Structure formats: structure tokens, C-alpha cells
């Protein structure tokens, strides 16, 4: 019969697993300078964690539901606290450091783009008129982070439906940007898009349209211009996708 260790596993397997963990933690300590204890065998409940240790017992880490219910801490609580401390050190250290995602932060080699289009007020209602069109260069991906659309003349009231702006990426309308009936920012201070913006890929084309609603020509200044802007950055393909 083979002696059973933790969780009913053969003792030899338990010993091997713990040895492997010891090697991993030893490498972790060499890289980060954080020492982690590895117990080889049955473990007695450890003493309370030192002050300042992130734990489930208060002072940081995840909420302590056991303590909130009045239960005393157990060995498992302290074990979890140690693991939280280790993971916090790993996330802050060089072991798990990664380059930022290129659509969240401009990577090395990124280039800003600022595309602005101007169109005199169209003389026809109910038709989409192209104000701005731009294609992503070959071998580059990008992200649209901010945008703007406005009318420079008098007579436009936000939400009236007299002007409707729409954005198309290739041959599809962009979700949430296909029925804009208000002024959005301005070229000198465009609107920050939600989340990380809209990612684009090489050769994709985005287009910014405007359409006049019924009766708009009788209310809008014919000398006004429609202005649309898209802003963001592009970066060489081959980074993290």
C-alpha cells in the first residue's frame, strides 16, 4: 500500500509536487527578492500574519466574509493571505510585467493620426453625405480614441433630428455611432470614446456621414459647414492582437 498524502494522493506524488513548487518559488525569490515558504508535509496552523500583510483578515486583500460573520481565522485564511501577498508581489514585479496592449497605450513606433473633414451644408434632405473618409495604411493597425462632429451655422438644435451623423467601418455601421443627433466635441477638444475606443486593422476604411432630416433646410443656416473628426493612433502590425 502506498501512503496517502494531502487530498488522498500518493505520498510520493505529494512530495514531488511540493518539490516542484519549491523550485518555482525559489526562482521567484531570486527574481523578485520575495521569500515564500513551502511546507513539505503536514502543516500546523501558522501564527497570525505580521502587520501590513494583505489578507482576508482585514487591512487589504479580498473581503473577509468569515470575519464579518464572527468566525475565528483558520490556517486556510492565513494560507490565502500569503497567496494574495505573493500574487501582489508578482503583479508588481518583473516576473509578470508585460508590454501594454497597443490599443490601450501607444507602443513604440506608434503614430498619432488626426483626420478632419469639412462639408458645406448639403442641399438635399434624407441622403447620407460623406464628410470624412480615411483608410488605415498597409501593415498598420490602429485605434480610434476620440471623435467630434458639429455644425458651424445657426439653427441647429441638439436632438432635433435636423442633422444625423453616422460612422461606417468598411461596409458596416459602427455600433453606437450610427445615429448621432447632437454636437459631439470639437476638433480642438474631441469626445473621448468609451472603453479603449474602436480598433481598426490594416486597409480598413472608416467613413463619417451626415444626413439632413425632413424640413432641416428650412431651419439650418445654408452658409454653415458640417465638420467631422476622428483621432487616435496607429502602430505596426505584429504586436499583441
In which element (H, E) is residue 65 found? helix 65-68
Phi, psi of 140 (to 5 degrees): -125, 140
CB neighbourhood size of 27 (10 A): 11
Given CA atoms 120, 123, 128, 129 in this order, what sign does their dihedral have? negative
Determine the Cα–Cα distance for residues 49 and 222; give it in Å rounded to an integer.
Answer: 74
- β-partners of residue 210 are 129, 165
Q: Scan for cell 498597409, then name that residue.
A: 138
Determine the Cα–Cα distance for residues 128 and 121; give it in Å rounded to an integer.
Answer: 12
Determine the Cα–Cα distance for residues 154 and 149; give it in Å rounded to an integer.
Answer: 15
Q: Scan for cell 439653427, then name that residue.
A: 155
Q: Given this model, what pLDDT does residue 109 score? A: 84
- Summarised one tens digit per residue, pLDDT across range 73-111 is 666 666 666 665 666 555 544 333 445 787 788 888 889
Q: How close are the terminal C-alpha atoms of the chain, in Å?
A: 52
Cell numbers found for residue 225: 459647414
Intervals of the chain under pLDDT 70: 1-11, 13-99, 194-196, 238-241
Determine the Cα–Cα distance for residues 241 and 234; give it in Å rounded to an integer.
Answer: 13
Determine the Cα–Cα distance for residues 103 and 81; give it in Å rounded to an integer.
Answer: 34
- Which CATH architecture group holds 111-236? Sandwich (2.60)
Determine the Cα–Cα distance for residues 18 and 24; give it in Å rounded to an integer.
Answer: 10
Domain ranges of the chain: 6-92, 111-236
Residue 74: closest CA among 90, 95, 57: 57
Amino acid at each position: 500500500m502506498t501512503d496517502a498524502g494531502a487530498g488522498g494522493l500518493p505520498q510520493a506524488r505529494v512530495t514531488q509536487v511540493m518539490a516542484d513548487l519549491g523550485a518555482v518559488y525559489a526562482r521567484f525569490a531570486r527574481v523578485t527578492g520575495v521569500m515564500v515558504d513551502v511546507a513539505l508535509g503536514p502543516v500546523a496552523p501558522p501564527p497570525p500574519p505580521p502587520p501590513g500583510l494583505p489578507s482576508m483578515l482585514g487591512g487589504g486583500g479580498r473581503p473577509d466574509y468569515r470575519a464579518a460573520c464572527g468566525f475565528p481565522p483558520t490556517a486556510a485564511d492565513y494560507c490565502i493571505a500569503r497567496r494574495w501577498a505573493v500574487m501582489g508581489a508578482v503583479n508588481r514585479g518583473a516576473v509578470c510585467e508585460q508590454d501594454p496592449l497597443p490599443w490601450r497605450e501607444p507602443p513604440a513606433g506608434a503614430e498619432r493620426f488626426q483626420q478632419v473633414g469639412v462639408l458645406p451644408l448639403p442641399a438635399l434632405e434624407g441622403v447620407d453625405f460623406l464628410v470624412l473618409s480615411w483608410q488605415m495604411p498597409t501593415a498598420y493597425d490602429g485605434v480610434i480614441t476620440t471623435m467630434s462632429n458639429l455644425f458651424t451655422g445657426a439653427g441647429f438644435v441638439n436632438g432635433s433630428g435636423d442633422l444625423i451623423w453616422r460612422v461606417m467601418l468598411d461596409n458596416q455601421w459602427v455600433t453606437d455611432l450610427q445615429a448621432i443627433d447632437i454636437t459631439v466635441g470639437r476638433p480642438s477638444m474631441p469626445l473621448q470614446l468609451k472603453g479603449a475606443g474602436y480598433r481598426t486593422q490594416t486597409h480598413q476604411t472608416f467613413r463619417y456621414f451626415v444626413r439632413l432630416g425632413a424640413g432641416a433646410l428650412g431651419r439650418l443656416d445654408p452658409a454653415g459647414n458640417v465638420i467631422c473628426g476622428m483621432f487616435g493612433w496607429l502602430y505596426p502590425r505584429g504586436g499583441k492582437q
